Amino acid sequence: MSEPSTAAEATPARTDFIRNIVREDLASGKHGHINTRFPPEPNGYLHLGHSKSICLNFGIAAEFGGHCNLRFDDTNPEKEDLEYVEAIKADVRWLGFEWHELRHASDYFEVLYLAAEQLIRDGKAFVCDLSAEEVRQYRGSLTEPGRESPFRNRSVEENLDLFRRMRAGEFADGARTLRAKIDMASGNINLRDPALYRIKKVSHQATGDAWPIYPMYDYAHALSDAIEGITHSLCTLEFEDHRPLYDWAVDHVRLHERPELLKPLTDKGVPNEAAKPRQIEFSRLNINYTVMSKRKLLALVNERLVAGWDDPRMPTLQGIRRRGVPPEALHLLAERVGISKQNSVIDFSVFEGCIRDVLDAKAERRMAVIDPIKVTITNLPEGHRETLRFANHPKDESKGQRDVPFSNALWIEREDFMETPVKGFHRLVPGGEVRLRGAGILKCDAVIKDGDAVVELHCTLDPESRPGMEGANRKVKGTIHWVCGNAGIKAEVRLYDRLFSVENPDNDEGGKTYRDHLNPDSVRVVTGYIEPAAAVLANESAVQFERLGYFAAERYDHAAERPVFNRTVTLRDSWAAKGA
Ligand code: ATP
Ligand code: MG
CATH of the domain at 554: 2.40.240.10
Q: Which ligand is nearest to the CA of 346?
A: 1
Answer yes or no: is 71 within a domain. no
Q: Which atom of ligand 1 is nearest to the CA of 42?
A: 10
Listed residues 419, 447, 481: the one ending a domain? 481
Regarding whether 520 and 477 lie in a shared domain, the answer is no
Select which of 294, 296, 494, 567 is catalytic: 294
Regarding whether 528 and 463 lie in a shared domain, the answer is no
Q: Which domain holds residue 459?
A: 368-481
CB of 293 closer than 6 angstroms to any ligand 1 atom: yes
> Any residues with CB less than 8 A from the CB of 353 and at least 6 apart, and which?
573
CB of 292 closer than 6 angstroms to any ligand 1 atom: yes
Regarding whether 373 and 357 lie in a shared domain, the answer is no
Listed residues 459, 481, 503: the one ending a domain? 481
Answer yes or no: is 404 within a domain. yes
Domain count, the chain: 2
Atom 13, ligand 1: residue with shortest CA distance: 40
Regarding whether 408 and 439 lie in a shared domain, the answer is yes
Answer yes or no: is 31 within a domain. no
**Is residue 41 among the annotated active site residues?**
yes
> Any residues with CB less than 8 A from the CB of 106 and at least 6 apart, and which?
72, 74, 75, 204, 206, 207
Phi, psi of 465 (to 5 degrees): -100, 0
Listed residues 431, 460, 481: the one ending a domain? 481
Regarding whether 548 and 461 lie in a shared domain, the answer is no
Provide the pLDDT for residue 548: 98
Phi, psi of 443 (to 5 degrees): -120, 135
Provide the pLDDT for residue 9: 52
Regarding whether 503 and 455 lie in a shared domain, the answer is no
Per DSSP bridges, beta strands 213-215 and 195-199 are: antiparallel
Provide the pLDDT for residue 578: 61
| Distances 17 to 52, 56, 231, 428, 544 between C-alpha atoms, Å | 15, 12, 15, 56, 38
**Is residue 294 among the annotated active site residues?**
yes
Phi, psi of 348 (to 5 degrees): -55, -30
Atom 1, ligand 1: residue with shortest CA distance: 293
| Cα–ligand 2 centroid distance for 297 (angstroms) | 14
CB of 235 closer than 6 angstroms to any ligand 1 atom: yes
50, 284, 337: residue to mutate for ligand 1 pocket, most atoms within 8 A of CB: 50
Q: Is 41 helix (H, G, I), strand (E, B) or coil?
A: coil
Select which of 89, 200, 258, 284 is catalytic: 284
Provide the pLDDT for residue 144: 95
Regarding whether 386 and 445 lie in a shared domain, the answer is yes
Residue-by-residue pLDDT tens, the chain, 580 positions = 444 445 445 667 899 999 999 999 999 999 999 999 999 999 999 999 999 999 999 999 999 999 999 999 999 999 999 999 999 999 999 999 999 999 999 999 999 999 999 999 999 999 999 999 999 999 999 999 999 999 999 999 999 999 999 999 999 999 999 999 999 999 999 999 999 999 999 999 999 999 999 999 999 999 999 999 999 999 999 999 999 999 999 999 999 899 999 999 999 988 888 889 999 999 999 999 999 999 999 999 999 999 999 999 999 999 999 999 999 999 999 999 999 999 999 999 999 999 999 999 999 999 999 999 999 999 999 999 999 999 999 999 999 999 999 999 999 999 999 999 999 999 999 999 999 999 999 999 999 999 999 999 999 999 999 999 999 999 999 999 999 999 999 999 999 999 999 999 988 788 888 999 999 999 999 999 999 999 999 999 999 999 999 999 999 999 999 999 999 999 998 777 664 4
| Cα–ligand 1 centroid distance for 24 (angstroms) | 26
Atom 25, ligand 1: residue with shortest CA distance: 49
Regarding whether 338 and 418 lie in a shared domain, the answer is no
- Buried b or exposed e, range 429-462, using 16+ CB within 10 angstroms: beebbbbbbbbbbbbbeeeeeeeeeeeebebebb
Regarding whether 498 and 360 lie in a shared domain, the answer is yes
Answer yes or no: is 22 within a domain. no
**Is residue 296 among the annotated active site residues?**
no
Provide the pLDDT for residue 18: 98
Regarding whether 560 and 543 lie in a shared domain, the answer is yes
